[in-house]
């Protein structure tokens, strides 16, 4: 089989070998071509069968008598251009035939039979509509989006061997062709791993028919996809970011499998599983058929009833360094990709960076009131090259928009920390486009000079980014924020996000007076495959923020500059009131008028020509923690204690449940509740079952109460616990026996 497909005109040169056959326009799942050439001892026979023909059309070329003695050293050529094909011998056309339609409609594959490897060495195939990229000149036809792409040495030991290398040790490295392909397409390329990255071999990925420079569009094929465990177990295939299929096939050498190469290829030299190895990857999109090959083995095949017919092509990797030797693109149609250009007049003035007015120095508990002012943020996105645009919505607001696709869209905070004891969480109003992916992240640690913290614990509130929570960053809550197609700097489509700090975190060092909490960033805060753009963060995707403030326990200290006047307005007020230049006077009034629970007030500040309006949030704790204690609806023989307030009560961190003198062990989740499992065999519990109710001493954090809970009529007996296995251990405990088993 020829590895490529034939979409246009071509020329095939083959040696004359008696008994050999050439099949052209071979349909899928067939080994017979619509056009066939057979070599006999005396002639070359041609037959062509099209749907319009009732019988195959045939022609024959008899070898000249002068050539019969040297027939084994001669070649013949088959040419095809549009509706015509002909056979040439010694440079002269000897057979000509006309087609009803181009051969592509009948099949795109080519097959030879009866030729050995020495015979194939004399063959030559020339095809039209083929882009053959060896990177032997400047890669002007490619756009790098993330990573460092350059012609550089592949090996540390032999600097003279150089190839195109895309190095992206911290995220996405993508290489996009500056052309748009239409119709059928075949992509072939040889890829490898650069010296120094062998332990994480894989991530030889590509995307075709993409509507934008992002793997979240088009057909994407990931060879040994990156995951948090570096397992090298999975290869996955996507359509517009939606997973179509996963495969556990062993492709590139795996670190945990001895770094061996598992392929039967007689042309491949042994002893090069990864160092210096090349892997052949091929993608075929033929009509509705989509196929993926790795080292000539078909790994994936499907049909798409609504195939993507046009788009970009890119090759990319993630947390890896990929080596490329050759890229071959066979296509039906191709055109240059358009890039917007804005013409400037010859006398255009030099562009200047606009000056940013410093923020009004107003603070709540040491936290700036104008918290989204550019002075307090730093944008980091070397992949997507996101831009930051500030605008005003009472106070500073910000829009972050992706330009190239992929990346973290990470807007890092330079804001000071606040006392953890005084901070209940954060409030922010957000809006986003449908595929913008980001979270709100923050950290705990000792509070030092300048209200800066030394990070010790890292957490995030999930909005639309990664929800991976098994490493450094732990998820503590989630808010669903719907996407809107067009983000404008107006009052519409803003959604409230309350990122509460769970009470379960207020233990140990986090109870100390010097412990602080500080915002870390908006965006994708950790190394995650989402940063590749596989399911979002494409060009043009964006999110906007406004009204970012901590939520305090009790009214914080208010600070304003000299000659500043301030006003207040509750949500139910139409007009501002309380004009004053004394922040403590207003603070005492807010304390006096506060209600139990979450309080909100809008504060207006004016100094000369500057003005600022920002919301202040605080929680006034009630005398007692409101709670419920019930039988859990999911876990048998277990009680669930729940704090019923709409805010987080820090006292709930010390919640306990006792049965007599027995204190039950709590289990926490993302909600403000604790699960308490009843230990089997306890005498008091057995006695409670006998009388039909259970007496429990509950302390939700504000004092003990005794409660009698009737037994659930539908209570289920819990299943027997047979064994327990936790972590990477060579032993596990079998509770039905007395010995440990290995």
> Do 516 and 426 sit in the same domain of this protein?
yes
- What lies within 8 Å, CB to CB, of 691 at 6+ separation is none
pLDDT exceeds 50 at position 738:
no
pLDDT more than 70, % of the chain: 94
Q: In this predicted structure, what is the pLDDT of residue 132?
A: 95
Domain co-membership, 171 together with 239: yes
Q: Burial code of 565-590, b = ≥16 C-beta within 10 A, e = fewer? A: ebbbbeeeeeeeeeeeeebeebbeeb
pLDDT in tens, 164-195: 999 999 999 999 999 999 999 999 999 999 98
User: Is residue 697 domain-shared with residue 563, that is, in the same domain?
Assistant: no
Q: For 633-640, what is the mean pLDDT?
A: 88
> Which residue, 522, 529, 539, 533, is CA-closest to 402?
539
Q: Which conformational region is residue 406 in: left (phi greater than 0), alpha (psi within -120 to 50 degrees), or beta?
A: left
Q: What is the CATH number of the domain that holds 103?
A: 2.60.120
pLDDT digits (tens, 9 = 90+) for 426-457: 999 999 999 999 999 999 999 999 899 999 99
Same domain, yes or no: 209 and 324: yes
The alpha helices in 186-284, defined as continuous H runs, are: none
pLDDT value at position 731?
58
- Residue 155 banded pLDDT, cuts 50, 70, 90: confident
Does residue 661 have a pLDDT over 90? no
* 222-262 pLDDT, tens digit each: 999 999 999 999 999 999 999 999 999 999 988 888 788 87
The parent domain of residue 210 ranges over 131-257+272-336
Of the candidates 221, 138, 225, 237, the one whose C-alpha atom is nearest the C-alpha of residue 187 is 221
Q: Among 418, 417, 711, 684, which Cα is nearest to 556's?
A: 418
Mean predicted confidence (pLDDT) in 574-593: 94
Evaluate if residue 547 carries a pLDDT over 90. Answer: yes
d(C-alpha 664, C-alpha 638), whole Å = 10
Q: Which string of b and e fits 81-102 if b means at least 16 CB within 10 Å?
A: eeeebbbbbeeeebbebebeeb
**Same structural domain, 606 and 708:** no
Say yes or no to pLDDT of 742 above 50.
no
What CATH number corresponds to the domain at position 323?
2.60.120.560
Do both 313 and 401 map to the same domain? no
Would you state the structure tokens that stand for residue 71, as one six-digit string? 């027939």
Whether residues 600 and 469 share a domain: the answer is no
Instruction: Answer yes or no: is pLDDT of 720 > 80.
Output: no
Domain presence at residue 187: yes
pLDDT above 80 for 376: yes
Residue pLDDT, tens place only, 100-134: 999 999 999 999 999 999 999 999 999 999 999 99
Residues 499 and 574 in one domain: no
Q: Tell me which of 572, 598, 620 is where a domain ends.
A: 620
Catalogue the E-assigned strands of 488-635.
Answer: 495-500, 515-523, 542-553, 558-559, 565-569, 577-580, 597-607, 610-620, 627-631
Could you tell me which residue, 715 or 282, shows the higher pLDDT? 282
Minimum mean pLDDT among 54-58, 254-258, 474-478: which range? 254-258
682 confidence band (pLDDT: 50, 70, 90): confident
Confidence of residue 740 (pLDDT cuts 50, 70, 90): very low
Q: Are 470 and 228 in contact (CB under 8 A)?
A: yes
Q: Are residues 151 and 71 in the same domain?
A: no
Residue 739 resides in a domain: no
Mean per-residue pLDDT over the chain, rounded: 91
């Amino acid at each position: 089989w020829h590895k490529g497909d034939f979409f246009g005109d071509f020329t095939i040169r083959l040696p004359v070998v008696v008994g050999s056959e050439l099949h052209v326009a071979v349909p899928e799942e067939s080994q017979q071509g619509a056009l066939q050439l057979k070599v006999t001892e005396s002639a070359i026979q041609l037959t062509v069968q099209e749907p319009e023909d009732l019988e195959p059309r045939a022609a024959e070329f008899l070898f000249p008598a002068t050539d019969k003695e040297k027939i084994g050293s001669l070649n013949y050529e088959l040419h095809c251009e549009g509706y015509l094909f002909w056979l040439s011998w010694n440079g002269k056309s000897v057979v000509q035939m006309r087609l009803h339609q181009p051969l592509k409609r009948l099949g795109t594959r080519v097959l030879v039979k009866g030729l050995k490897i020495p015979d194939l060495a004399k063959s030559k195939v020339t095809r039209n509509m083929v882009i053959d990229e060896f990177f032997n000149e400047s890669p002007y036809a490619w756009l790098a989006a993330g990573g460092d792409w350059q012609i550089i040495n592949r090996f540390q030991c032999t600097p003279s061997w150089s190839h195109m290398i895309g190095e992206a040790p911290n995220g996405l490295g993508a290489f996009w062709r500056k052309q748009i392909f239409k119709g059928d397409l075949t992509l072939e390329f040889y890829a490898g791993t650069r010296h120094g990255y062998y332990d994480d071999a894989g991530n030889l990925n590509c995307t075709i028919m993409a509507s934008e420079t992002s793997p979240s569009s088009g057909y994407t094929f990931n060879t040994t996809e990156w995951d948090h465990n570096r397992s090298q177990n999975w290869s996955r295939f996507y359509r517009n970011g939606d997973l179509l299929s996963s495969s556990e096939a062993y492709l590139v050498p795996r670190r945990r499998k001895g770094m061996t190469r598992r392929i039967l290829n007689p042309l491949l030299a042994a002893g090069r599983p990864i160092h210096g190895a090349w892997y052949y990857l091929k993608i075929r999109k033929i009509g509705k058929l989509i196929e993926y090959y790795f080292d000539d083995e078909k790994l994936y095949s499907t049909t798409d009833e609504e195939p993507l017919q046009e788009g970009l092509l890119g090759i990319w990797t993630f947390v890896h360094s990929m080596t490329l030797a050759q890229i071959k693109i066979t296509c039906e149609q191709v055109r240059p990709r358009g890039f917007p250009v804005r013409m400037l007049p010859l006398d255009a003035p030099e562009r200047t960076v606009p000056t940013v007015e410093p923020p009004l120095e107003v603070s709540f508990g040491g936290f700036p009131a104008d918290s989204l002012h550019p002075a307090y943020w730093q944008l980091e996105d070397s992949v997507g090259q996101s831009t930051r645009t500030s605008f005003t919505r009472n106070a500073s607001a910000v829009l972050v928009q992706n330009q190239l696709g992929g990346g973290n869209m990470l807007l890092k905070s330079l804001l000071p920390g606040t006392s953890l004891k005084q901070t209940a969480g954060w409030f922010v109003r957000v809006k986003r486009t449908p595929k913008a992916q980001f979270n709100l992240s923050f950290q705990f640690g000792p509070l030092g000079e300048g209200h800066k913290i030394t990070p010790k614990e890292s957490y995030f509130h999930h909005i639309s980014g990664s929800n991976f929570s098994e490493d450094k960053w732990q998820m503590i809550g989630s808010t669903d924020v719907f996407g809107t197609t067009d983000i404008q700097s107006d009052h519409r489509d803003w959604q409230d996000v309350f990122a509460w700090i769970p009470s379960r975190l207020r233990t140990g060092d986090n109870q100390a007076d010097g412990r602080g909490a500080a915002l870390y960033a908006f965006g994708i805060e950790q190394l995650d495959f989402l940063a590749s753009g596989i399911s979002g963060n494409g060009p043009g995707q964006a999110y906007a923020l406004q009204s970012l403030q901590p939520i305090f326990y009790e009214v914080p200290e208010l600070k304003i500059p000299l000659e500043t006047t301030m006003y207040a307005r509750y949500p139910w007020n139409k007009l501002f009131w309380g004009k004053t230049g004394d922040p403590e006077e207003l603070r005492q009034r807010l304390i006096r008028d506060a209600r139990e629970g979450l309080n909100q007030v809008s504060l207006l500040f004016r100094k000369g020509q500057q003005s600022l309006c920002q919301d202040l949030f605080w929680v006034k704790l009630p005398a007692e923690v409101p709670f419920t204690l019930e039988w859990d609806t999911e876990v048998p023989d277990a009680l669930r204690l729940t704090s019923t307030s709409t805010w987080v009560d820090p006292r709930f961190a010390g919640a306990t449940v006792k049965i007599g003198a027995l204190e039950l062990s709590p289990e926490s989740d993302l909600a403000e509740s604790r699960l308490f499992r009843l230990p089997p065999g306890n005498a008091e519990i057995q006695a409670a079952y006998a009388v039909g109710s259970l007496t429990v001493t509950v302390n939700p954090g504000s004092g003990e109460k005794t409660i009698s809970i009737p037994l659930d009529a539908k209570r289920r007996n819990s299943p027997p616990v047979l064994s327990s296995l936790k972590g990477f251990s060579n032993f596990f405990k079998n509770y039905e026996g007395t010995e440990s088993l290995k």
